[in-house]
Amino acid sequence: MATPAAPGASEGPASLQDLPEVVIVGGGFAGLEAARQLGRAGVPTVLVDRTNHHLFQPLLYQVATAALAATDVAEPIRKILRRYPSVEVIYGDVTRIDTVARTIGLADGRQRAYGRLVLAAGSRPWYFGNEGWRAHAPGLKTAEDARQIRSRLLLSFEQAEQAMDPEERQRLMTFVVIGGGPTGVELAGSIAELSRFTLARDFRHIAPEQARVILVEAGPRLLPSFAVSLSDYTRSRLERLGVVVRTNEAVKEIGPAGVRLGDETIRAGFTLWAAGVRSSDLGGCLGVPLDRAGRVGVAPDLSVPGLPGVYVLGDLAHLDGPDGKPLPGLAQVAAQQGTHLGRHLARHLRKGTPLPPFVYRSRGNTAIIGRHAAVYELGTWHVRGWLAWVAWAIAHVYLLIGFEKRLSVALKWTARYLSYERGSRLISGTGLLPGAGSPPAAGPVAPDRSPVVARDHAQDR
């Protein structure tokens, strides 16, 4: 992606001083941190988001697998920003951006002018052009996604309890996770623990611990961005949990009753997608070139070349690191970019100082596999097992917004650790009862009686 020569050279305070406030699109890690920094400096700021809450996505898989409630990992945006009088919050869905008129348009027809635009709209599950798969293999990006996944997981066990045909019962208790990155690994491990520990004594006609969890990865190993030794450890630990891992196998088709891998079809009660993401479509509204993942190329200062006063952050930004590779779509990258831009943009607006280039400081990559097991990597320092799991838990509790959230999650994790129970086992939503639009019980696929393992096509965080 093209990169201009000098950070901050595309604009100056004098040329934009008569325009209105900074408008931030997106209340994720990047947008929220930018709003905080601008609010602390007293800069007039508007944050627009299609939801009214900030979501701590690294723990969303625990909501999807009944370990936590959605309220444990979400906080109202207005509550977070209420201490900053200069920051206004708008609940709305941005659908249009006019970089000539310097306005954004909302789905309800409203418009808002901007002096500076910060686009931090995040990403969405990407099915590599096979959008028909979305209905049969939901991705995990929002609180609603997590709620639906949790309901469909638990519903599969309820339907299996009532199924009379042994083959149909086995199909309903087969779960395929597509994608061997951190999200896929975490989902597969958590589903295996849910079936083998939490649900094991709750049913009378089925043995939940006999559920099959299959993790499918198109590449040669799990967690491809981690060291090989950590990938091997992850696979070993998942297999000890009973997860069947299948690498070097790409998905050919996903239907209502199963998944096809090459010439083999796996009959499954529920399939989950964790194999790829694509940036928000709002990047296309800027009229600039996008990369293959839909990301906008940005300068080192996070500005968009040729568009004065426009900045792009987080999953929507393509910025190469020192190794020449694009910075990963991690929460820590987005948060650091939001803090950097908010802090220095406030100084730029007040004093006219140029924006310095953004420098990412990695705090390491981590993924949890299951109880007592996680992996952590920072440069050449590799940690695995119980120590990595404890460090992961402490870090994630610390990063949650608000003391109440930290206390609540810490207590729930402690209770879950001691009892193996999960407290958010609710089936909710319409059309889930048998005879009311529940997922089909059969499909055009042949029975599969072999063990199944699923793997991820790309790291999706």
Residues recognised as catalytic: 186
Count CB-CB contacts under 10 A for residue 110.
Answer: 12
Judged on CB neighbours under 10 Å (0-12, 13-18, 19+), 275 is: buried
* Structure tokens belonging to residue 382: 């590799």
* Cα separation, 167 vs 188, whole angstroms: 22
User: What does the H/E/C string look like for the chain?
Assistant: CCCCCCCCCCCCHHHHCCCCCEEEECCCHHHHHHHHHHHHCCCCEEEEECCCEEECHHHHHHHHCCCCCHHHCEEEHHHHHCCCCCEEEEECCEEEEECCCCEEEECCCCEEECCEEEECCCEEECCCCCHHHHHCCCCCCCHHHHHHHHHHHHHHHHHHHHCCCHHHHHHHCEEEEECCCHHHHHHHHHHHHHHHHHCCCCCCCCCHHHCEEEEECCCCCCCCCCCHHHHHHHHHHHHHCCEEEECCCCEEEEECCEEEECCEEEECCEEEECCCEEECHHHHHHCCCECCCCCEECCCCCECCCCCCEEECHHHEECECCCCCECCCCHHHHHHHHHHHHHHHHHHHHHCCCCCCCCCCCCCEEEEEECCEEEEEECCEEEECHHHHHHHHHHHHHHCCCHHHHHHHHHHHHHHHHHCCCCCCCCCCCCCCCCCCCCCCCCCCCCCCCCCECECCCCCC
Residues 6+ apart with CB under 8 A from 390: none
CA 413 to each of CA 28, 64, 393: distance values in angstroms, whole numbers, following the listed order: 24, 15, 9
Residues 6+ apart with CB under 8 A from 135: none
**Facing residues of 389 across strands?**
none
